Amino acid sequence: MKKIFIPLLVSIALFSCERWEEGIARDIVLPPHNPQIAASLFIDSMDSTLNATISKTGGLFDTTSTNVIKNAKVKLYRDGALLHDLNDFSNNQTYYKFLAEQIGIVNGALIFEVHHPDFETVSATQSFPEKAVFTTKVDYGGTTFFDETSDALTISFTDIPEENQHYLINIHAHYRSGITGQDTAEYFPLYLETTNQNATRINEYGILLSEEGINRNLAIRFATGINSINYLFQLEYRITVSTLSNELYKFYQSYSALQNSQGNPFAEPVILYSNMSNDIGCFGVSTTLKKWDG
């Protein structure tokens, strides 16, 4: 038995010492990345310019790098017919098209298609959602915000049956001079507080509200953080509601998660939502309505 054990142990010890020299880390060689096209276009009904970004992907573990690419053919079709050609390349590194006026709500199926000689053609389809139907009500000094008296603003949305509505809500406060009552032309975005279970904060000032899986009228109440009672002239609130397509809503959600997780080693990885045919990039549309109250 000794004849087996001793040579075995000596061999293992030598092997182990040799490995000790290699340290506790090891570099992994990954296969080179195969660049693909990444296309993104977001259109709102109030846009008068269409901007698309077309780039090629760059691997993180090899020498390929990402950059915006030229020579792409960027087209927007409606129900199979060409609607817009976005073939001008701007200084902002986007493919763009100036429109004479706001694009408005375009009926029918919109197809965003990108051709490039070095890559496979990619595309995605979208339809403009219907404009939000909502009413607003301001309750001056009707709530609290971090224990201070605050105006409360309630927005009540009318349900569109059989459709999941997704809203992006922004509210600005419009000040008048406290002495003369004249318009100061100043609009301040408001940090909004809500306890609504279906609401998600986007950046500092946006609120995403979804009726996914509910299909009923929605109402959301905000504390605006402003106490109008302190002013001689009550504030006006400008309410901007963008109705998002399902795909754009998912993009907002995943982008928000991506932003929140950046730089945090404890966060779960985020795959940014894509509805493009090659699963990279996004085509999203929204319909925006602005309303004044107060």
Partner 1 sequence: MKIRMALVLLLISNSISAQNRTLSGYIYDFQTGEALIGVNIWSPELKLGTSSNTYGFYSFTLPKGVHVIRLTSFGYENKQFEIDLSENLEFNFQLKTSNNLLNEVDVIASGGQTIQEQVQMSKMEVPIKQLKSLPAILGEVDIMKTLQLLPGIQSGGEGTSGLYVRGGSPDQNLILLDGVPLYNVNHLFGFFSVFNADAISNISLTKGGFPARYGGRLSSVLEINMKEGNMNEFHGDATASIISSKLTLEGPIIKDKASFMISGRRTYLDVIARPFITSSNNNNPNQQTSPKYYFYDTNGKINYKIGKRDRVYLSHFQGQDNFGIKDKYSDSSRTEEFDFGIDWMNSITALRWNHQWSPKLFSNATITRSLYKFNTRAVSETSFLPNFPDTTGQEIENIAALYLSGIEDYGSRIDFDYAHNPLHYVRLGAGYTNHKFTPGATNLRFASTGFNLDTSLGSQSILSDEFFAYVEEEWNIGENFKVNVGLHFAGLAVQNETYTSLQPRIGLNYTLPGDVALKASYADMMQFVNLLTNEGIGLPTDLWVPSTATIKPQTSRQYAAGLAKNLGAFEVSIEGYYKDMQNLVSYKEGANFIFSLNEDWENKITQGNGQSFGTELFVQKKKGKTSGWIGYTLAWSYRQFEEINDGQRYFFTYDRRHDFSAVLTHEITDNIQFSGAWVYGTGRAITLPEYEYVSSIPNGLSWYQQQQVLIQRPTDKNSFRMSAYHRLDLSFSFHRKREHYNRWWMISAYNTYNNLNPFFFETRTDASGNTTLREYGLFPIIPSIAYRIKF
DSSP β-ladder status, 37-44 and 281-293: parallel
**Residue closer to partner 1 (CB basis): 90 or 177:** 90
Nearest to 260 by CA among 251, 269, 248: 269
The CB-of-169 to partner 1 minimum distance in angstroms stands at 9
The CB-of-155 to partner 1 minimum distance in angstroms stands at 16
**Residue closer to partner 1 (CB basis): 24 or 81:** 24
Question: Which residues touch 14 (CB under 8 Å, ≥6 apart)?
Answer: none
CA distances from residue 142 to 145, 150, 222 in whole angstroms, order as listed: 10, 6, 10
**Residue closer to partner 1 (CB basis): 20 or 117:** 20
Rg, the chain, Cα only: 27
CA distances from residue 253 to 148, 164, 183, 200, 249 in whole angstroms, order as listed: 31, 15, 36, 8, 6
Length of the chain, please? 294
**Residue closer to partner 1 (CB basis): 77 or 205:** 205
The CB-of-221 to partner 1 minimum distance in angstroms stands at 18
The CB-of-116 to partner 1 minimum distance in angstroms stands at 14
The CB-of-276 to partner 1 minimum distance in angstroms stands at 11
**Residue closer to partner 1 (CB basis): 230 or 260:** 260
Question: Which residues touch 77 (CB under 8 Å, ≥6 apart)?
Answer: 83, 110, 111, 113
The CB-of-57 to partner 1 minimum distance in angstroms stands at 5
**Residue closer to partner 1 (CB basis): 82 or 267:** 267
**Residue 116 near residue 68 (C-beta atoms within 8 A):** no
CA atoms within 13 A on the CB side of 236: 17
Q: How far apart are CA 280 and CA 95, in angstroms?
A: 17
